[in-house]
Amino acid sequence: MSRLANRPFARMNGCGNAIIVLDLRGADIAVTPDEARAIARAPGLAYDQLMALYDSGAAGVTAAMKIFNNDGSLSAACGNGTRCVAYMLMRDTPLRELALKSDAGVLACTRDGELRFTVDMGTPRLHWWEIPLREAARDTACVRLHGEDLPPAFREFAAVNMGNPHAVFFVADAGAVDLAIWGARLEADSLFPEKANISFAQAVARDRVILRVWERGAGATLACGTAACATLVSGVRKNLTDRKAVISLPGGDLGVEWRATDDHVLMSGPVELEFEGRFDPAIFDREKL
């Protein structure tokens, strides 16, 4: 029997990004990839990311996060999920700020309203080996892809690591891109040794970008916070956007700023608590865990 059986959880979303928050602080329980996949397949519990919380072991840090994609793989960062975690830890308290530890570093979270939060996502990594890319690139704002089957619009992208690798393609019409075909194809391109989150961005103004995202390990999503951050950084580097813009995703709008004073990327947006419950033991029995 899985030790996650009957454990409490919260089903949330951040701008449509489906999130499960699982608080395991004080418990000696490690979520396995099999368990993460089993939860994602359970009726009504499908998620994009599962945020498992553990004791941080560090002064001033409320919790450490282990982030799972719905295929059981790990992600170092999830901006929308981090906002959901911040809500769960700050609700019913007077707290307005807290810090959370992720594999991408410690993230500062600020409560802007009852259901709106800002996360300091830190500084973007822009060197080709930090993203990482399999081949050296002189300018990661303009990286070439080679493939005879690629349309011209998909042969150049901007590469950014925001805790996970991102490839941002600026296109004339983001809504016209077939995510199921091109997201899956580009995610697994040989240039990305760890695969990559694939974004199709349409800069409609200096302060607004329409964005659709195929997340590595999760597929097409209504929103992706790290992709929104990567897109704003890429837009600035390509002189398509200002340092502060609204990133419009299918699930709603995120406010993103690439702060000039310290190069930190700040992401603001809403969260929603959909329901809370406990994991049915049968979820894990069916997967023969």
**pLDDT tens per residue, range 139-148:** 999 999 987 7
Q: What is the pLDDT of residue 148?
A: 73
Residues 28 and 117 in one domain: yes
Residues 77 and 26 in one domain: yes
Q: What is the pLDDT of residue 217?
A: 87
Q: Which residues of the chain have pLDDT under 70?
A: 286-289
Residues 250 and 155 in one domain: yes
274 within 8 A of 11, measured Cβ to Cβ:
yes
Task: Give the domain range for residue 59.
Answer: 8-122+272-286
User: Residue 110 falls within a domain, yes or no?
Assistant: yes
Residues 32 and 85 in one domain: yes
User: Residue 267 falls within a domain, yes or no?
Assistant: no
Q: What is the pLDDT of residue 150?
A: 84
Q: Checking phi first, is residue 4 left (phi over 0); if not, alpha (psi -120 to 50) or beta? A: alpha
User: Residue 266 falls within a domain, yes or no?
Assistant: no
15 noted as active-site residue: no
Q: What is the pLDDT of residue 286?
A: 60
Q: What is the pLDDT of residue 153?
A: 84
List helix spans (H) across the chain: 33-41, 79-90, 179-187, 225-237, 281-286
Residues 230 and 279 in one domain: no
Residues 160 and 184 in one domain: yes
User: Residue 138 falls within a domain, yes or no?
Assistant: no
User: Residue 127 falls within a domain, yes or no?
Assistant: no
User: Residue 226 falls within a domain, yes or no?
Assistant: yes
Residues 56 and 97 in one domain: yes
224 noted as active-site residue: yes
Q: What is the CA radius of gyration of the chain?
A: 18
Q: How many CB atoms lie within 10 A of CB 175?
A: 10
Q: What is the pLDDT of residue 151?
A: 86
User: Residue 208 falls within a domain, yes or no?
Assistant: yes
Residues 84 and 193 in one domain: no
Cβ-in-10-Å burial (0-12, 13-18, 19+) of 28 comes to exposed
Q: What is the pLDDT of residue 140?
A: 98
Q: What is the pTM of this model?
A: 0.92
Residues 152 and 113 in one domain: no
> Domain count of the chain?
2
Residues 209 and 245 in one domain: yes
User: Residue 55 falls within a domain, yes or no?
Assistant: yes
* Per annotation, catalytic residue among 15, 109, 224, 229: 224
Alpha-carbon dihedral sign for residues 274, 280, 285, 289: positive
* Per annotation, catalytic residue among 15, 78, 84, 229: 78
Q: What is the pLDDT of residue 272?
A: 97
CATH code where residue 161 lies: 3.10.310.10
Residues 76 and 99 in one domain: yes
Q: What is the pLDDT of residue 288?
A: 53
For residue 53, the one-letter residue type is L
Residues 166 and 243 in one domain: yes
